[in-house]
């Protein structure tokens, strides 16, 4: 097994496997090229891991197909699949300091928040789908005195899963949980910007007792490993989370053998603040839901629409929160915002700020790089613009950074029209003390999700996903199980003769 000994910024010593996890072993890739993990807070290389080629992906797919038809997995009773998922949840809890140290180090996520909130989300996800493993039932259908029919729901087969860098472990669990509960085999392809935590997680699946080939991890580039997974003729389903542009490419590639596809793509969520709202609470939720994780949240409320009478007071609260935010190193006590995950993302966000200034938006606070420590790292100030119109880039395009566009509206109808004026339809948030207004508005919003008087407060039992160019299908909740199942209809003749 290829592995490396690491000492993290918080002093934690971690033994990390660096190979591709194929057939329950960490192995070298077929290419001499390696994938470097770069600390976005210091711009220093943490380590290098194996990078999968198309040949390596093919090996993983063959191992997954063999595992899928092997009685050790194929005939495993649902209660045993549940037990294995519960064991993984136990191991995540046991090893969470290592897992979330790696995640914070790899992509700049805040360590305390990852260790608490995100760890809970991952554990709850595995336990939730463990609970579903023995509740996947069919139906019986009476047809006539001589015939009846019944349905069974069977695992779709070999699944490819492509996860993003902004929530590496959370997004892995959202795909692994339902796939394994339903009896599928799954090959994870983490983002090339966040390869480390998924490899450590793979080690835990082996320790939990999963048969070889059921769970595999192939780090690599999207162009090489991701494309090989989406176009492979022996992969039955692809689950993708990432940008809308890449999501479209995944959908197109999956047509090669008509794979089942779920895509959770980009967003530009509108946060509607009516003038009767608790404005101080609205500002706190808007800040957490828009600036959290350095703004790198697909459902981030990056468009804030405020009723005219409430604008001055709301923006005052909101601005103060931004000014009080502490941009710093992910492991430092008191840090509320870490770096952007990569130089590419850093440059992209700064360009949006430049464009907003050029288009005439009013810069209230922030607006540039933020120096932390010795000046290295990809840190950007929490940035708020007001006077934003629906013709500006920062109103329409997903920034994926700590930049919030504030616009105003007069009436409920105008608010809904502005919120729906988007190519995206992932989420929206409505703040008002009037529940009639809240529910009526939620019904009109063209999104897959609406939060009322909160923002981005996920629950594993609730489906997650969008409409329009924000994706296809849903993750989480009972809904996502269908993406990993095929319904088979069986006709039974009780004596009908020709």
Same-domain pairing of 36 and 21: yes
Q: What pLDDT does 116 receive?
A: 84
The neighbour count for residue 88, using CB atoms within 10 Å, is 27
CATH number at residue 299: 3.40.309.10
Does one domain contain both 131 and 276? no
**Residues 14 and 146 reside in one and the same domain:** yes
pTM: 0.96
Q: Is residue 43 part of a domain?
A: yes
Q: Are residues 27 and 124 in the same domain?
A: yes
264 is catalytic: yes
Catalytic position from the list 118, 192, 264, 475: 264
Q: Is residue 492 included in any domain, yes or no?
A: no
Burial annotation 370-381 (CB, 10 A radius, 16+ → b, else e) = bebeeeebbbbb
158 and 256 share a domain? Answer: yes
- Structural domain count of the chain: 2
Task: Give the separation between CA 218 and CA 111, rounded to whole angstroms.
Answer: 25
Alpha-carbon dihedral sign for residues 481, 485, 487, 488: negative
DSSP character string of 424-474: EESEEEEE-S-HHHHHHHHHHS-SSEEEES-SS---TTS-B--EETTEES-
- Contact predicate 34/50, CB 8 Å: yes
Pair 233, 327 in one domain: no
**124 shares its domain with 158:** yes
Q: Are residues 260 and 399 in the same domain?
A: no
Tell me, yes or no, whether 274 and 180 share the same domain: no
Considering the domain architecture, whether residues 275 and 311 belong to the same structural domain is answered as yes
Containing structural domain, residue 113:
3-265+472-487
Q: Residues 248, 351: one domain?
A: no
- 59 and 85 inside one domain: yes
Task: Establish if 497 belongs to a structural domain.
Answer: no
Q: pLDDT tens, position by position, for the chain (498 residues)?
A: 589 999 999 999 999 999 999 999 999 999 999 999 999 999 999 999 999 999 999 999 999 999 999 999 999 999 999 999 999 999 999 999 999 999 999 999 999 888 888 999 999 999 999 999 999 999 999 999 999 999 999 999 999 999 999 999 999 999 999 999 999 999 999 999 999 999 999 999 999 999 999 999 999 999 999 999 999 999 999 999 999 999 999 999 999 999 999 999 999 999 999 999 999 999 999 999 999 999 999 999 999 999 999 999 999 999 999 999 999 999 999 999 999 999 999 999 999 999 999 999 999 999 999 999 899 999 999 999 999 999 999 999 999 999 999 999 999 999 999 999 999 999 999 999 999 999 999 999 999 999 999 999 999 999 999 999 999 999 999 999 999 999 999 999 998 888
CATH number of the domain where residue 249 is located: 3.40.605.10
């Amino acid at each position: 097994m290829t592995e490396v000994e690491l000492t993290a910024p918080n002093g934690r010593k971690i033994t990390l496997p660096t190979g591709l996890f194929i057939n329950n072993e960490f192995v070298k890739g077929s290419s001499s090229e390696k994938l470097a993990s770069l600390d976005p807070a210091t711009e220093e290389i943490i380590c290098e891991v194996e990078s999968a080629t198309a040949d390596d992906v093919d090996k993983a797919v063959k191992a997954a197909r063999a595992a899928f038809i092997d009685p050790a997995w194929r005939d495993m009773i649902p209660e045993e699949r549940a037990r294995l998922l519960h064991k993984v949840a136990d191991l995540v809890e046991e090893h969470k300091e290592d897992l979330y140290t790696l995640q914070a180090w790899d992509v700049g996520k805040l360590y305390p928040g990852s260790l608490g909130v995100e760890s809970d989300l991952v554990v709850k996800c595995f336990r939730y789908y463990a609970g579903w493993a023995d509740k996947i039932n069919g139906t019986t259908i009476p047809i006539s005195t001589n015939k009846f029919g019944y349905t069974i729901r069977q695992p779709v087969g070999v699944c490819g899963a492509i996860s993003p860098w902004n929530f590496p472990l959370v997004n892995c669990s959202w795909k692994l949980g339902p796939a394994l509960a339903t009896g599928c085999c799954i090959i994870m392809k983490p983002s090339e910007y966040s390869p480390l935590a998924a490899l450590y997680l793979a080690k835990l699946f082996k320790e939990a007792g999963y048969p070889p080939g059921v769970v595999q991890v192939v780090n690599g580039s999207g162009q090489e490993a991701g494309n090989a997974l989406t176009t492979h003729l022996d992969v039955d389903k692809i689950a993708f989370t990432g940008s809308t542009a890449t999501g479209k490419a995944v959908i197109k590639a999956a047509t090669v053998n008509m794979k089942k596809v779920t895509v959770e793509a980009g967003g530009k969520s509108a946060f509607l603040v009516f003038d009767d709202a608790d404005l101080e609470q609205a500002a706190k939720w808007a800040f957490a839901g828009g600036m959290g994780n350095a703004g790198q949240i697909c459902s981030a409320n990056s468009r804030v629409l405020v009723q005219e009478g409430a604008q001055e007071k709301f923006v005052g609260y909101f601005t103060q929160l931004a000014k009080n935010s502490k941009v710093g190193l992910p492991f430092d006590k008191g840090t509320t915002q870490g770096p952007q995950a990569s130089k590419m993302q850093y440059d992209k966000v700064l360009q949006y700020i430049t464009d907003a200034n050029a288009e005439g938006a009013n810069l209230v606070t922030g607006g540039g790089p933020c120096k932390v420590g010795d000046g290295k790292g990809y840190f950007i100030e929490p940035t708020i613009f007001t006077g934003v119109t629906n013709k500006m880039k920062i109103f329409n395009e997903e920034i994926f950074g700590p930049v919030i566009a504030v616009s105003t509206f007069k009436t409920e109808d105008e608010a809904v029209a502005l919120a729906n004026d988007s190519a995206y339809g992932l989420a929206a948030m409505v703040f008002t003390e009037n529940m009639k207004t809240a529910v009526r508005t939620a019904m009109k919003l063209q999104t897959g999700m609406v939060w009322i008087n909160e923002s981005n407060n996920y629950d594993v039992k609730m489906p997650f996903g969008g409409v329009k160019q924000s994706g296809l299908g849903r993750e989480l909740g009972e809904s996502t199980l269908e993406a990993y199942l095929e319904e088979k209809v069986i006709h039974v003749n009780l004596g009908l003769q020709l």
